[in-house]
Structure 1
Amino acid sequence: MAIKKLEKGLIHIYTGDGKGKTTAAIGQGTRTAGGGYKVLMVQFLKGDDTGELHSIERMAPNFKLIRYAPLNSFYKFLKEEEKEAVKREVQQGLQEVISYLEGDEFNLIILDEIMAVLFNEILSVEDIIKLIEKKPPLVELILTGRNAPKELMDLADYVTEMKMIKHPFEKGIYARKGIES
C-alpha cells in the first residue's frame, strides 16, 4: 500500500550546544505522524532509556524508532575494539537508512545525533552528503547534533541553532527523569 505523500520534502538541521535538538525533532515527528504520515527516527550513539522512547512507542505504527550503536558512555572513553564495533554498526545503520530513503515507507526520516557520528569521525561529511543526495523529493529529512558542519548547513533548507544561555547542570543538577531524560 502506498503511503500518503508530502507536497515537498525539505532538509532540517537542529544543532548547537543548547538543550532541545532531539526534542524539536521528535516534536516535528509528532506533528507529521499526527497528520497521518509515516516517521522513522534513527538514533545514533544513544543508549539511555528516556521518556521520549515510550512516547514514540505509543505513536506506532506512524512513528518508528531504530537505534544504532547505542552507548551509555561517551565514544571517546571506549576501548579501541569497542570503537571498531561501533563503527561497524553505524556503517550498517547508514546502509539501512539509505535503503529506507530509497523505499517508499516513510515521509520523514530523522537522523538523531548524526553530528556526533561526524564529530567522532565514525562517518565522514561526504558519507552524509551522499545520503542526502539519495533523498527523494517528497521525503523530509532532519539531522540533529552539535557542531553541524558548514557543508551540511549549506545543503539544508532549515538550520536551527539551540544556544545554551543557562543550564541547571552548571549548578550540579543532572538530567531529571521526565524532563531531560
Structure 2
Amino acid sequence: MTRGLVHIYTGDGKGKTTAALGLAFRAIGYGMRVKVIQFLKGGYSGEFKTVSLLKPWIEIEIINHFKKRIFKLTEDEWKKLAQLTEEAVASLLISLKKGEYDIYILDEIFGALKRDLITVEKIREIIKNKAEKVELVLTGRGAPYELKQMADYVTVMQKEAHPFDKQIGARRGIEY
C-alpha cells in the first residue's frame, strides 16, 4: 500500500470488532503486520487464544492493558484504567508515527471516549499523526460526527434484533 486509510466501525449492532478482525486476518494473508489495542475489553477473549495458536505463523499482536472485566470496577480500578489508557495512547502515538505495523486496530476506542478515558482531541491526534502508509481502524458505539468526517470508510452497524433483548447473555465464542 502506498497510502493507508482510516476506517470507523460504529453503531449499536453486533459486528464491529468482528469486521475489524476480519480485515486483520485478510491483511495477514498478504504478509501485513497488525496490532490490535483493545480498550475496555478486560479479561479473556477468544481473540487472544486464536492469536496465541497462530502466533508462530502470523504477524499480529493484541494488547489489552486491563486484565479485569470492566463491568464491576471500583473507583480506584477506573483510575488505574484511565492511567493505563493514557500510557497505551502515548505508546501508540510513537508506534503510529514510525509505522511499526501496517494496520492498527483501536478496538472499542469510542467506548473509552464515552467513559472519558480518552478525548476527541486525542483521537484526532492519533488519526492525524499516523504514518502515511498505516491503515487505521477504530471501533465502538457512538463515533462522533467530527471523527467520522476524518475517516475514509465509515460503517454503521445497525441493530434490528439482538439476544440481549430477550435476556440472553453474552455467549463465549460468539459475543466474546
What TM bracket, shorter-length normalisation?
A: over 0.9
1:103 aligns with 2:95: no
Give the RMSD, CA atoms, in angstroms: 1.4
CA contact (8 A) 2:33 2:102 kept: yes
Between the aligned partners of 1:80 and 1:173, the Cα distance in structure 2 is 29
- Given the superposition, is the C-alpha separation of residues 70 and 118 from structure 1 closer, same or farther in structure 2, using an over 3 Å criterion? farther
Between the aligned partners of 2:75 and 2:17, the Cα distance in structure 1 is 28
What is the match of residue 30 of structure 1?
Answer: 25
1:90 is matched by which residue type in structure 2? T
Aligned residues: 174
Between the aligned partners of 1:161 and 1:152, the Cα distance in structure 2 is 13
- Given the superposition, is the C-alpha separation of residues 70 and 127 from structure 1 closer, same or farther in structure 2, using an over 3 Å criterion? farther
What is the match of residue 132 of structure 1?
Answer: 127
Structure 1, gaps ≥5 residues long: 1-5
Say which is worse superposed, 162-171 or 54-63, in terms of deviation: 54-63
What is the match of residue 66 of structure 2?
Answer: 69
Structure 2, gaps ≥5 residues long: none
Between the aligned partners of 2:27 and 2:54, the Cα distance in structure 1 is 11
CA contact (8 A) 2:99 2:131 kept: no
Between the aligned partners of 2:147 and 2:68, the Cα distance in structure 1 is 25
What is the match of residue 107 of structure 2?
Answer: 112
Identity %: 42
**Runs of 4+ more than 6 Å apart:** none
CA distances 1:84-115 after superposition (whole Å, capped 9, x unpaired): 11111000000111121122420000000100
1:32-181 to 2 correspondences below 5 Å: 32-60=27-55, 61-74=58-71, 78-181=73-176
Say which is worse superposed, 117-126 or 62-71, in terms of deviation: 62-71
Q: TM-score when scaled to structure 2? A: 0.93
Q: TM-score when scaled to structure 1? A: 0.90
Between the aligned partners of 1:131 and 1:179, the Cα distance in structure 2 is 30
What is the match of residue 10 of structure 1?
Answer: 5
